[in-house]
Amino acid sequence: MSLTKDTKIYIAGHRGMVGSAVWRALSAAGFTQLIGKSSKELDLRNQAAVTDFFTSEGPEVVINAAAKVGGILANNTFPYAFLMENLQIQNNLISAAHQSGVTKFIFLGSSCIYPKLAPQPLKEEYLLTAPLEATNEWYAIAKIAGVKACEAIRKEFGKDFVSLMPTNLYGPNDNFDLLSSHVLPAMIRKFHEAKNNAHATVALWGSGTPMREFLHVDDLAQAVLFALQNTLPEHLYNLGSGSDLTIKELALLIQKAVGHEGEIMWDDSKPDGTPRKLMDVSKMNALGWKAQISLQDGIRSTIEWFVQEER
């Protein structure tokens, strides 16, 4: 398939943090035929509806940024929904794309597909070599199935189906709900609200010792654009900044950027999750993509976006 600015590109999940960033990046690159459907317009869990959509709209390229996502609490509380809904969404998209003749499909997943205690940094070949982190294995198993489905289509039919696995993402349009958000946006909300409440003490989960890596969603979007404009030789690529820090260091960065001057209390009765997750991004870097946005700059701009939305 020869990609042009008029190629019809369907971005599933275009209103989410990832999908909206991909939409911005592709629009800025001059692509004019972008297709997006809200969950009310198209329920991706409904196989017949997805098949009908592909028949009527005829997308030539699909980027799957749609998923049911959440933090440790949400994954632990709703394991069936996280497993089943993600399987339904991606299976319907991959199957309909294959059947309708889509030749390029970009599947977006998560670093949680790798084993809990895999060597660091995480290499693509560590997939399925040991047990997963128990607190989000339901989501991880669904995403692994998606990776394997894309690999199978590549192997059996020679189609350009590729999987990109980003590390922890953050940025505009993130979920800042304390019951279902990930660690970085949750901290932004907690510190912001505590600052506005006479610099009250902020309680954070766990010991603060786990190591985490973060990637700004606009850097991820550039990786998707790169994968769109190039034929990648392998089926699976990690995406990350290439460096990590402790959760405690992250908290101090966010606290300073927000301007909160109160205490931080660590509740070590709460789970820490995986001790360390750092991606080996050498394969994607070698092809020509590299993260550009520093964590400090990314946190600052994300706080600005959040504060603006709160008004």
Q: If you search the block for the tokens 């997006």, which residue do you land on?
A: 36
Eight-state DSSP code of residue 178: T
Contact present, 64 and 16 (Cβ < 8 Å):
no
- Alpha-carbon torsion angle 189, 113, 286, 121, nearest 10: 80
DSSP SS3 for 142: helix
Helix boundaries (H) for the chain: 17-28, 47-57, 72-77, 79-99, 137-157, 183-196, 217-229, 247-258, 282-287, 295-310
3-state DSSP of 38-103: CCCCCCCCCHHHHHHHHHHHCCCEEEECCCCCCCHHHHHHCHHHHHHHHHHHHHHHHHHHHHCCCC
- Residue 216 tokens read as 């700004």
- Which one of 10, 80, 114, 139 is the catalytic residue? 139
139 carries an active-site annotation: yes
Q: Rounded to whole angstroms, what are the CA distances from 168 to 42, 98, 104?
A: 27, 29, 25
What is the set of active-site residues?
Answer: 139
